[in-house]
């Protein structure tokens, strides 16, 4: 037992040497934001995540500022590189705000987000108001005669959270106000919330 602790102590002392500590510190430091490093970071990011131009810009800008802090690199030069990279990615189609907005709006709708919430989330990602309007118009076209976008979203949320016609029938009356409030907090109008929550059963509502 003593031998075990002695060996452990020796190993701990070895890892605590100035040389070992310096190596650990070097690993923790962010990499210097050269142009090639930023390009590689941008490619890695868009391969992993669906991104808007603004999201990519913010990710790369953070790298530039960290590099300036730890390596004393030129911030303005780094930000110029970032601008060039983002523009090239947009021209090549690696980043496309229109396609991003359409895909994300559709995904958010499927999860029961109201158009108000969809608009806010897309705006937070740096999507322009014009492209957000286009994405919501596309959702309206895709909705067809199966209810409005708001109705479809509210119905999906009600189904997912077991509200209104999807809850336990024996507790539906006592939970009515709570269910209406849940849809209101999610950004749906009172009229849409009433239509969903007060439906006799899910079958009488539009298909989703």
* Whole-angstrom distance, CA of residue 85 vs CA of residue 77: 13
Residue with tokens 């705006």: 123
Higher pLDDT, 135 or 3: 135
| Per-residue pLDDT reduced to its tens digit, 106-149 | 999 999 999 999 999 999 999 999 999 999 999 999 887 767 89
**Contact of 174 with 186, CB cutoff 8 Å:** no
Q: In the predicted model, is pLDDT for residue 64 greater than 70?
A: yes
**DSSP sequence for 143-171:** HTTS--HHHHHHHHHHHHHT-GGGS-GGG
Q: In the predicted model, is pLDDT for residue 208 greater than 60?
A: no
* Whole-angstrom distance, CA of residue 101 vs CA of residue 119: 10
**Contact of 157 with 163, CB cutoff 8 Å:** yes
Question: For 6, which DSSP code?
Answer: H
Average pLDDT, the chain: 88
* Whole-angstrom distance, CA of residue 152 vs CA of residue 22: 58
Question: For 76, which DSSP code?
Answer: H
* Whole-angstrom distance, CA of residue 125 vs CA of residue 153: 21
% helix / strand / coil in the chain, to the nearest 5?
Answer: 75, 0, 25
Half-sphere exposure of 25 (CA within 13 A, CB side): 8
Q: In the predicted model, is pLDDT for residue 6 greater than 80?
A: no
| Per-residue pLDDT reduced to its tens digit, 100-113 | 999 999 999 999 99
pTM, two decimals, is: 0.79
């Amino acid at each position: 037992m003593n031998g075990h602790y002695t060996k452990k102590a020796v190993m701990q002392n070895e890892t605590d040497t100035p040389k070992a500590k310096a190596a650990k510190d070097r690993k923790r430091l962010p990499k210097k934001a050269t142009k090639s490093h930023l390009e590689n970071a941008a490619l890695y990011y868009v391969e992993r995540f669906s991104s808007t131009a603004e999201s990519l810009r913010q990710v790369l800008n953070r790298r530039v500022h960290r590099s300036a802090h730890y390596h004393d690199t030129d911030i303005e030069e780094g930000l110029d590189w970032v601008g060039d990279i983002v523009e090239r990615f947009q021209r090549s189609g690696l980043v496309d705000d229109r396609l991003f907005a359409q895909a994300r709006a559709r995904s958010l709708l499927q999860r029961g987000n109201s158009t108000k919430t969809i608009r806010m989330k897309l705006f937070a990602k740096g999507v322009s108001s014009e492209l957000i309007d286009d994405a919501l118009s596309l959702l309206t076209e895709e909705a067809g005669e199966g209810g409005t976008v708001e109705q479809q979203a509210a119905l999906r949320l009600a189904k997912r959270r077991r509200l209104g016609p999807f809850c336990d029938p024996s507790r539906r009356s006592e939970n009515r106000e709570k269910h209406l409030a849940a849809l209101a907090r999610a950004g749906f109008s009172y009229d849409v919330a009433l239509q969903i929550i007060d439906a006799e059963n899910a079958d009488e509502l539009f298909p989703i």
